[in-house]
Amino acid sequence: MAGALAILSLGSIFLGYAARDLFIGFGTEFWGNSIQHAPAIAGAQLVGEFLPVYIKMIPFLGSILSVTTVFLINTS
């Protein structure tokens, strides 16, 4: 079961990376009117698109750190 889940998770990660611009790319019309933005914060999405890479990597690095910590705690 773990092997099948690992294969599915790798496929999900790589397909998500390849298709990310379709869903969240700058200026995409994929979601149409399903997501509404308040006029006062409409520029916040544009600002978030051009953040430095090190800020965008914080959630990923936190996830890796958390998984590593839990693995080390459970194997000892």
**What integer pLDDT is reported at residue 10 of this predicted model?**
92
Cα separation, 46 vs 18, whole angstroms: 21
Q: What percent of the chain has pLDDT over 90?
A: 34
Which tokens sit at 11?
A: 């496929």
42 has pLDDT over 60? no
pTM, 2 dp: 0.44
What amino acid occupies position 41?
I
Residue 44, phi-psi category: left (phi > 0), alpha (psi -120 to 50), beta (remainder): alpha
67-74: average pLDDT: 94
Condensed to tens digits (0 to 9), the pLDDT of residues 8-39 reads 999 899 988 888 777 776 667 766 666 666 66
Find out whether 30 and 23 touch, Cβ atoms under 8 Å. yes
